[in-house]
Amino acid sequence: MTDDATTVIRNDEKNRYDLHVGDVAAGFAAFERDDQGRLVFDHTVVDKAFGGRGLGKTLAAEALADVARRGETVVPECPFIVKFLRENEVAGLRVDWRDEDAADAASAQPSA
């Protein structure tokens, strides 16, 4: 593992997925569990010091893939996560779109 290794780890204590570059915290994708047990992703942050490296996409891809492996359902509210899901397919992921996003998502073509 190199000093610049990127990792994404679920942090259930803080309700988020933490992004690290080496041992430095670089960002997170926050979620809340709703009354149906779904994970509502509502905020994603990547520190500006790590900008331009595609780490937001890495964070979204790895976090959502982990949710899919766990058999959980996502409700995307964060604009970054909404955009990511409109443009990318995550194998096995169950997504419950909000009404205003459902029509847009249905017409979007994934660019895998």
Q: What is the pLDDT of residue 109?
A: 44
- The DSSP letter of residue 78 is S
Widest CA span of the chain, in angstroms? 43
Is the model's pLDDT at 93 over the cut of 70?
A: yes
Nearest to 58 by CA among 19, 92, 31: 19
Q: CA-CA distance, 110 to 112, in Å (whole number)?
A: 6
Could you tell me the pTM of the whole model?
Answer: 0.86
Q: What is the pLDDT of residue 42?
A: 97
SS3 of 18-61: EEEECCEEEEEEEEEECCCCCEEEEEEEECHHHCCCCHHHHHHH
Is the model's pLDDT at 2 over the cut of 50?
A: no
Is the model's pLDDT at 58 over the cut of 50?
A: yes
**Mean pLDDT, to the nearest integer, of 16-26?**
97
Is the model's pLDDT at 27 over the cut of 80?
A: yes
